[in-house]
Amino acid sequence: MSDILAGQAVRISEHVVRVLAPNPSVFTGPGTNSYLLGRPGGDLLVLDPGPADEAHIAALLDAAQVMGGTIRDIVCTHTHEDHSPGAAPLAARTGARLIGNPAPADGFNDLSFCPDLVPADGSVIACGDVRLRVIATPGHVSNHLCFLLEGENLLFTGDHIMQGSTVVIVPPEGSMREYLASMEKLSALPIAAIAPGHGTIMHDPQHVIAATTRHRLARESKTLRALRDMQRATLDDLLPRVYDDVPPFMHAIAKLSLHAHLIKLVEDGTITEPLPGTWQA
């Protein structure tokens, strides 16, 4: 991915072109992937327009022009700041329809995203030759959707599965329990490859889904073991033990996912939270 420049259109498959947004960071890896779907000369769909960055929106419009197509639909996997703020300005330039779930008002989501269509789980979005099956995948955030491109069986995972890093789960809109249930749902689908919101195409989808699930369950077991040793503990007590394999500069982020693990263990009835912010095994 390092040799791919932001703004450069890269053909991924017969119906898919990727344009990398210029927003690399610890959360976004090389940046957000925006995808253009459709056949040259036909109607086009933009999946995850990315940040409201003028240069990135210009790059998407240029890529559409090179394809000789017209952007009709703009679809968002979810409404975090690196995925959906480009939707409104791109719609203003193209007249395209906005599709996705509205943003929860938790302070971490892009309230500028106002969808024209809120698609039902399992429904199909049709745009030109493209047929995208909608798969509700709450977990990273409650409004998260994945999309399966019919024919190619390419799964667009947004932030549900990233290439090269672990997804952060921020409660209460993020839920570890829902995240794992969404993984199980994906494991039953005929997926040929994964096109993530960050990073490169993954060609062994069922291995990725199984390995991601195992990684989360291993972290959950480690959380439970640490809490049983300490009997009672806060997030700050648990953090250095449960994430002793993660560099300290990542601990502030890891703390959010640790909280999500503890909430799941309470929901499962495995541990309790006798005082707010104190857990007991």
Applying CB under 5 A, the residues found at the interface with Zn ion are: 80, 159
Q: What is the dihedral of CA 118, 119, 121, 125, to 10 degrees?
A: -160
- Closer residue to Zn ion, CB minimum distance, 28 or 94: 28
Residues 6+ apart with CB under 8 A from 236: 255
| Alpha carbon separation from 55 to 51, 63, 135, 231 (Å, rounded) | 10, 12, 31, 53
Nearer CB in complex with Zn ion: 110/159: 159
Closer CB to Zn ion, 119 or 174, in the complex: 174
Residues 9, 63: contact at Cβ < 8 Å? yes
Element (H, E) at 240: helix 235-242
C-beta of 140: minimal distance to Zn ion in Å? 6
Q: Is 265 exposed, middle or buried (0-12, 13-18, 19+ CB in 10 A)?
A: buried
> Smallest gap, in angstroms, from Cβ of residue 23 to Zn ion?
12
Residue among 94 and 157 whose Cβ is closer to Zn ion? 157
Select 27 or 61, whichever has its Cβ closest to Zn ion: 27
The CA R_g of the chain, rounded to the nearest whole Å, is 19
Least separation in angstroms between residue 113's CB and Zn ion is 13
By Cβ distance, which residue is nearest to Zn ion? 80
Q: How far apart are CA 195 and CA 202, in angstroms?
A: 7
**Shortest separation between residue 222's beta carbon and Zn ion, angstroms:** 24
Judged by beta carbon, residue 73 or residue 159, the one nearer Zn ion is 159
| Minimal distance, residue 160 CB to Zn ion, in Å | 9
Would you say 161 and 168 are in contact if contact means Cβ atoms under 8 Å apart? no
Per-residue burial over 15-42, b = 16 or more CB atoms within 10 Å of its CB, e = otherwise: bbbbbbbbbeeebbbbbbbbbbbbeeeb
Minimum CB–partner distance for residue 54 and Zn ion (Å): 22
Find the shortest distance in angstroms from Cβ 135 to Zn ion: 16
Closest CA to 120 of 141, 108, 134: 134
Q: Of 29 and 38, which CB lies nearer to Zn ion in the complex structure?
A: 29
